[in-house]
């Protein structure tokens, strides 16, 4: 009976650990997908979305300081995979981050719905992730502010 309890607890612990590692995404993983070389062009576009229209508020190419800030933001952030097909969000600010190589080919794209969740599109990963960093949106705003 005691061995049975130990086996059941061990299985539950293994399931919990497997679930955590499947659902958890470290920002370092996203940072590595975005990074290519120093010639990489990273663009950040901020829009305000309503049901009727989308207004572009900022469209910038990041300088080296801004790229470093973005990398730091990824390093300081964690995310959780969203398995549901639909996701509710309330923030109307949307941030699009794209990384291009020297031939102007996009190889990384991240769409942030305020500070609520992000969509990551980078071969081979296509993730919908809940943002687990309460400073995510304010840090993106700091990066944008350096261009104004």
pTM: 0.83
The boundaries of the domain holding residue 59 are 25-145
Whether residue 1 lies inside any domain: the answer is no
Question: Measuring CA to CA, which residue among 115, 135, 122, 27 is closest to residue 74?
Answer: 27
Q: Is residue 113 part of a domain?
A: yes
Strand order in the sheet with 93-100: 24-26, 78-81, 125-131, 117-122, 106-113, 93-100, 41-49, 54-61
Residue 69 CA to residue 143 CA, distance in Å, equals: 7
- Comparing 50 with 117, the larger pLDDT belongs to 117
Nearest-angstrom CA–CA distance, 24 and 98? 23
Within a domain: residue 12? no
What average pLDDT score do residues 138-147 get? 94
10 in a structural domain: no
DSSP string covering 112-130, please? EETTTEEEEEETTEEEEEE
Residue 20 lies in a domain: no
Of the candidates 101, 97, 104, the one whose C-alpha atom is nearest the C-alpha of residue 121 is 97
Count of domains for the chain: 1
- How confident is the model over 77-110, as pLDDT tens digits? 999 999 888 888 889 999 999 998 888 888 899 9
Query: Is residue 45 one of the residues assigned to a domain?
Result: yes
19, part of any domain: no
Q: Is residue 61 part of a domain?
A: yes
């Amino acid at each position: 009976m005691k061995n049975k309890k130990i086996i059941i607890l061990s299985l539950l612990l293994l399931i919990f650990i497997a679930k955590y590692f499947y659902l958890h995404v470290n920002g370092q993983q996203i940072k590595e997908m975005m990074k290519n070389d120093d010639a990489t062009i990273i663009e950040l576009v901020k829009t305000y979305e309503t049901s009727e229209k989308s207004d572009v508020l900022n469209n910038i190419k990041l300088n080296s300081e801004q790229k470093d800030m973005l990398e730091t933001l990824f390093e300081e952030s964690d995310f959780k995979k969203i398995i549901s097909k639909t996701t509710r969000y309330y923030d109307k600010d949307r941030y699009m981050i794209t990384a291009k190589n020297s031939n102007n080919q996009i190889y990384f794209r991240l769409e942030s719905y305020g500070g609520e969740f992000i969509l990551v599109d980078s071969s081979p990963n296509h993730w919908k992730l809940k943002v687990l960093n309460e400073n995510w949106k304010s840090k993106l705003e700091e990066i944008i502010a350096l261009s104004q």
